[in-house]
Amino acid sequence: MGLAGFNPRSLSAKILFLGTSFTFLLFLYLYTNPAGFLSSIKFPSGSGFNFERIPGRCPPRAYANGRWTGPHYRTHNASVMTDKAQALAFAGFTGCASSREFDWHLAADNVEQYPRFPNAQSYTWDVGPSDGCEGFEPLDKARVVRDMVQQGGWLLLGDSITEGHFFSLSCVLHPHVIATPVYTPNSYFDRAWPQNLYLNPDSPLLQEKHFALPPGFNITGTPLATFRRVDLLFTQDNLTRLHATLHPSTAANASFALFSSEAAWSLSPKEYLPLFFDGGYSTMVVSTGGHWTTTLFGGAYAQDAPAPARTARQGLDGVVDFFAQAMQRWADEVQSALAEAERMDRGARKRQVLVRAYLPGHDDCHNILDPWTEVHTPKGASYNWGSIWRYNEVFENLLSGSGAQKKYPDLHYLAIERPGRLRPDAHTTGDCLHIMAGAGVMEGWSHYIWHYVSNELGRGRHSRVNTAAAAR
Ligand SMILES: *[C@@H]1O[C@H](CO)[C@@H](O)[C@H](O)[C@H]1NC(C)=O
Ligand SMILES: *[C@@H]1O[C@H](CO)[C@@H](O)[C@H](O)[C@H]1NC(C)=O
Ligand SMILES: *[C@@H]1O[C@H](CO)[C@@H](O)[C@H](O)[C@H]1NC(C)=O
Ligand SMILES: *[C@@H]1O[C@H](CO)[C@@H](O)[C@H](O)[C@H]1NC(C)=O
């Protein structure tokens, strides 16, 4: 997954390649825009110098065009797993800041599945110019942390898959972050509890001469990342009301219920948008799909069902149609709130929302021990897994376009599910939907999101300006 420097055998080749690509890009940039280049080098006062980054040209689909290579073992290649503590080293982690369901997240909680180590942790997502992806730099955790401090943190909203992403991020950024709350093994916890990553006061980064905290940044009070459990992006009550306005006949029907009693956790945008605007974040990452099932949405009706059929449940088509209508409302509400927030704080902080494509599970995952080279779609997949592409397509259609053609300028769809779709071997021990931390899948999401906000969205080019403005 390009976690920098894990593989000494290929490191020098990577450095050579990076050096060559950088020189070429620099040449191209200088040649085409010499004045722009000179004005782009900034030496902000008081905090060392900071070269403006060259804009990336690795859109989400180009990133997803790559391939898994390996296994590249990070430990002696004859290593076998005899102790769950080895999981960290196999994955190339120095530790994980989060303490929630530690062994479960690392898939180290079942001795019978120890033989999956270290293979599942030893593949690298390889992508480059021949995939249409330029300027995608290796993940450098110190730079990610610096960027989160200076440009604003990440608010991760989603279901238990996003919770796994948060755990993985707590490993990727270790030891520069600490996590709250502290979970003790087998103690009670509530899935609704917010989880945060803060800058570790003992991080060596704080000793660096050029590392300056922006004005207003509070080490114990400004999270670098937060997870909130939001399965549906709206509350069930919000969705019940929306459904009733779309299908008035159901509203008048006392025996109709949109939802079954299946458990789900959710918040309304009225709750999480203020958190996003006031918490020092600049990136909100959402992902939803897995809980939009016919079992939870027992009563969802199809939008275009012929009139007589509207009294009948419409199965998955009904759920997907309702999802499309709800997500359009969501995009309208979030984009107008973003515009309002930007107006209120006079553009001091640019905030953007990324919708990460949802990732279906792989049936029979524990019997597949290697990555795939192409996506296989089984007939008769479990749950709504065979239709996840339809939920993703809803977001892709809503958020597509560029420039003036883009209806929601600050909402972006990241079609980066393909690396995960190629990893049936990368699931947790107990099911085939959740993904193990350390296999490269969720670490790749963090890597790409960092690239996307810093380069594709150009945040790295404006961070100093924004930090100065935020000090007002
Ligand atoms: C690693 O594995 C390869 C192929 O299985 C073998 O040839 C090589 O000797 C091994 N290296 C070490 C250090 O065990
Ligand atoms: C920093 O955050 C902590 C925890 O939220 C809070 O107790 C403290 O008062 C904050 N410090 C400042 C200077 O705002
Ligand atoms: C969603 O629910 C929240 C909290 O109950 C409420 O404040 C908000 O107005 C609702 N939004 C919509 C669109 O129904
Ligand atoms: C009312 O809802 C129930 C449950 O969905 C359904 O079986 C019934 O046909 C509905 N009645 C009418 C008049 O639509």
Would you list the DSSP string of 391-436? Answer: HHHHHHHHH---GGG-SSTTEEEE---HHHHT-GGGB-SS-SSSB-
Q: Report the separation in Å between the CA atom of 180 and the middle of ligand 1, taken as the mean of its atom positions.
A: 41
Which has the higher per-residue pLDDT, 176 or 10? 176
- Say yes or no to pLDDT of 282 above 90: yes
Alpha-carbon torsion (152, 229, 164, 384), positive or negative: negative
User: Between helices 160-172 and 441-451, what is the axis angle to 10°?
Assistant: 80
pTM, two decimal places:
0.85
| DSSP type of residue 50 | E
Higher pLDDT, 345 or 107: 107
Provide the percentage of residues in the chain whose pLDDT is more than 70: 82
Inform me whether the pLDDT recorded for 276 exceeds 70.
yes
pLDDT at 106 over 70: yes
Quick one: what percent of the chain has pLDDT higher than 90?
Answer: 70
Q: Which pLDDT does position 307 carry in this prediction?
A: 53
Give the pocket of ligand 3 (CB within 6 Å). 235, 237-238, 241, 268, 270
The pLDDT value given to residue 22: 43
Ligand 3 atom showing the smallest separation from residue 329 Cα: 13
How far apart are the CA of 311 and the centre of ligand 4, in A? Answer: 6
Pocket of ligand 2 contains residue 23 by CB under 6 Å:
no
Q: Which of 107-121, 193-207, 395-409 has the lowest mean pLDDT?
A: 395-409
The token pair that represents 186 in the structure block: 């087998």
Average pLDDT over residues 179-194: 93
pLDDT(369) > 90: yes
Closest C-alpha to ligand 2, atom 12 = 218
- Quick one: which atom of ligand 2 is closest to the CA of 221? 2
CA nearest ligand 4 atom 14, residue? 311
- Ligand 2 binding pocket mutation candidate from 217, 220, 222 (most atoms within 8 A of CB): 220
Q: Which two tokens stand for residue 42?
A: 């900034």
What's the whole-number mean pLDDT along residues 367-384? 93
- Which is higher by pLDDT, 268 or 54? 268
Interaxial angle between packed helices 141-151 and 441-451, expressed in degrees from 0 to 180 and rounded to the nearest 10: 50
Task: Return the DSSP state at 337.
Answer: H
* Angle, helix 269-278 to helix 315-344, in steps of 10 degrees: 40
Q: Is the pLDDT of residue 402 over 60?
A: yes
Top mutation candidate among 72, 73, 75, 77 for ligand 1, by most atoms within 8 Å of CB: 77
* 254/242: higher pLDDT: 242
What's the gap in Å between 245 CA and the centre of ligand 3?
A: 14
Tell me the mean pLDDT in the region 93-117: 97
Q: How far is 68 from 440, CA to CA, in rounded Å?
A: 9
pLDDT of residue 460: 67
Query: What average pLDDT does the segment 112-136 reach?
Result: 96
User: What is the predicted pLDDT for the residue at 364?
Assistant: 95
From ligand 4's centre to the CA of 346, what distance in Å?
Answer: 51
**Does residue 41 register a pLDDT over 80?**
no
Over range 97-123, report the average pLDDT. 97
Q: Report pLDDT for 378.
A: 83
Which residue has better confidence, 436 or 460?
436
Residue of minimum CA distance from atom 14 in ligand 3: 238
CA pair distance 237, 244, nearest whole angstrom: 11
Q: Residue 392: what are its φ and ψ, rounded to 5°?
A: -65, -40
Give dist(CA 219, CA 257) in Å, integer.
Answer: 46
Decide: 19 and 138 in contact? Cβ < 8 Å: no
Q: Is 78 in the pocket of ligand 1 (CB under 6 A)?
A: yes
Query: Of all protein residues, whose CA lies closest to atom 5 belonging to ligand 1?
Result: 77
3-state helix, strand, coil in the chain (%, to 5): 45, 10, 45
Nearest residue (by CA) to ligand 1, atom 7, is 77
Report how far ligand 2's centroid is from the alpha carbon of 218 (Å).
6
User: Which of the 8 DSSP states describes residue 455?
Assistant: I
pLDDT value for 306: 54
CB 180 within 8 A of CB 158: no
> Who wins on pLDDT, 46 or 126?
126
Listed in order, strand segments (DSSP E) in 153-235 are: 153-158, 177-180, 195-199, 225-229
Nearest protein CA to atom 9 of ligand 3, as residue: 270
Read off the amino acid at residue 385.
Answer: W
pLDDT value at 373 more than 60: yes
pLDDT of residue 124: 98
Question: Is the preceding omega at residue 201 within 30 degrees of 0, hence cis?
Answer: no
Q: Which tokens hold the place of 57?
A: 């040209």
Nearest CA to ligand 2 atom 13: 218
Token output for 257:
């219920």
Q: Work out the angle between the directed axes of helices 141-151 and 463-470 (0-180°, nearest 10).
A: 40
Q: What integer is the mean pLDDT of 105-122?
A: 97
Q: Ligand 2: does its nearest atom lie under 6 Å from the Cβ of 221?
A: yes
pLDDT of residue 10: 40
Q: What's residue 418's pLDDT? A: 98
For ligand 1, atom 1, the nearest C-alpha belongs to 77
Q: What does the block give as tokens for 358?
A: 């949802």
Residue type, 345: D
Contact 118, 40 (CB under 8 A): no
pLDDT value for 55: 56
pLDDT score, position 301: 58
What are the residues facing 68 on neighbouring strands? 125
Residue 105: pLDDT over 90? yes
Task: Indicate whether 303 pLDDT > 90.
Answer: no
Structure tokens at 219: 């080490």
Q: Above 70 in pLDDT, residue 49?
A: no
pLDDT band at 52 (very low <50, low <70, confident <90, very high): very low
Whole-number pLDDT of residue 348: 81
Ligand 4 contact via 256 beta carbon (within 6 Å): yes
Q: What is the mean pLDDT of residues 364-378?
A: 95
Length of the chain, please? 472
* Pick from 27-41, 47-61, 131-145, 435-449: least confident: 27-41
Is it the case that residue 83 has pLDDT exceeding 50?
A: yes
Mean of per-residue pLDDT scores for the chain: 85
The tokens of 196 are what? Answer: 């945060």
The whole-number average pLDDT for the span 219-246 is 97
Report the pLDDT value the prediction gives residue 20, as an integer from 0 to 100. 44
Angle between helices 315-344 and 388-399 (to 10 degrees): 30
Greatest Cα pair distance, the chain, in angstroms, is 72
